[in-house]
Amino acid sequence: MDWEDTEEIRECIQGTLDMNGFDAFDEYDVPCNFHPQYEYHHEVEFYEKSPEGFEAEYELTSGGELVDLCLQLRFLYSEGKVKRIFHMIDPM
């Protein structure tokens, strides 16, 4: 499923937070308890680089802990810009 409307994906994400007893997802530069080997505190993996674009998966945290929720996004090159599409929310 691809989402271009961010309100729908926000509702899904908030529901995941509520079900698991988390307050909010961490933003950049929040202290992290799982000690990543990189500066950005959400785990990110990139896939399928091509002339059309690429895909990325973001494993999110709350309170410095992984929350077993992965956002899958697509980034498409179009008219000199990058279009972001929320592809899937994957509870791990």
How far apart are alpha carbons 63 and 83 in whole angstroms?
30
Identify whether 33 is part of a domain. Answer: yes
Would the pTM count as exceeding 0.75? no
- Note whether residue 70 is domain-resident: yes
End-to-end CA distance of the chain: 17
Look at the chain and report how many structural domains it folds into.
1
> Would residue 45 count as lying in a domain?
yes
pLDDT in tens, 7-38: 777 777 777 778 778 777 766 666 656 555 55
Q: Which residues, including other chains, have CB under 8 Å from residue 5's CB and lie 6 or more apart?
A: none
pLDDT digits (tens, 9 = 90+) for 35-54: 555 554 556 777 777 888 89
Residue 1 within any structural domain of the chain: no
Host domain of residue 73? 6-91
